[in-house]
Amino acid sequence: MKIKNPKLWHKMPGGIIEGENVLYSRKYLKDVENLYKSKEISNEGKNTLMYEVYSYSEGDETQYGNLFWGLTILHPVYIEKECNMTKGHFHENRNCVEYYFGLEGEGLLLLMDEMGQMSAEKVLPGSLHYIAGNFAHRLVNIGEIPLKIGACWPTTAGHDYRAVEEMPFPYRIYKNNGKIELVER
Ligand code: S6P
Ligand code: ZN
């Protein structure tokens, strides 16, 4: 019997599990500019790479009980001092929970319930975050290096971005002279 090599999941960008079922997407500033307060983004700035998302699963994604394993990399970009953030979403299926865990860098995980109440958790290497199914979640890079987090969630969860567009997270996150500021909209 041959012993198999393990999947080095945190090295996904290195292509270690290339050839298997890995999905990859990336967002440029032009894709997410509406999230930011600044309306003065240059055409050149719009091509800035903001974040990358890898996800991986085996078997049938429509099968209840199946899971995604994911990696999100948020680059250290500031738009007039506002920190780089993911779009943020609820899961379409509000029963589907998720775990995030910090790998590298420094961030915040913003959690918002369906009434629009927000809380924030510090994300750092080794931190573990349980995201209940009825909470919208957004990652924010508050550091100077890429923020990398691992994630695990049901393949049947889906993304509900519209609910967050209609009821945005109530705080913007800025870094001002090295200090993190949460500013109410
Ligand atoms: C999926 C999970 C992550 C995010 C990723 C990007 O349920 O929460 O993989 O999709 O961090 O965030 P967003 O809000 O742009 O999908
Ligand atoms: Zn999610």
Is 56 a member of any domain?
A: yes
pLDDT for the residue numbered 89? 98
- pLDDT per residue over 114-136, tens digit each? 999 999 999 999 999 999 999 99
Is 3 a member of any domain?
A: no
Mean pLDDT for the stretch of residues 61-72: 94
Is 59 a member of any domain?
A: yes
Instruction: Give the contacts of 112 (CB within 8 A, at least 6 positions apart).
Output: 88, 118, 135, 136, 137, 138, 164, 167, 169, 170
* 91: pLDDT strictly greater than 80: yes
CA-nearest of 91, 165, 93 to 135 is 91
pLDDT for the residue numbered 6? 76
Is 2 a member of any domain?
A: no
* 50: pLDDT strictly greater than 80: yes
Domain with residue 31: its CATH number is 2.60.120.10
Is 156 a member of any domain?
A: yes
- pLDDT per residue over 131-162, tens digit each? 999 999 999 999 999 999 999 999 999 999 99
Is 27 a member of any domain?
A: yes
Q: Which long-range contacts (CB under 8 A, 24 or more apart) does 37-43 make?
A: 37/79, 37/80, 37/82, 37/172, 38/79, 38/80, 38/82, 40/80, 41/79
Ligand 1, CB within 6 Å, residue ranges: 53, 55, 70, 72, 86-89, 98, 137, 139, 151, 153, 157, 159
pLDDT band for position 16 (50/70/90)?
low
> How many Å lie between the centroid of ligand 2 and the Cα of residue 145?
23
Cα separations in angstroms, 21 against 42, 69, 131, 133? 36, 11, 25, 25
| Domain extent for 24 | 9-184
Closest ligand 1 atom number to CA of residue 161 = 14
pLDDT for the residue numbered 17? 56
Lowest mean pLDDT among 10-14, 155-159, 162-166: 10-14
Is 4 a member of any domain?
A: no
Domains of the chain: total: 1
pLDDT for the residue numbered 11? 63
* 51: pLDDT strictly greater than 90: yes
pLDDT band for position 13 (50/70/90)?
low
Mean pLDDT for the stretch of residues 105-122: 98
Is 124 a member of any domain?
A: yes
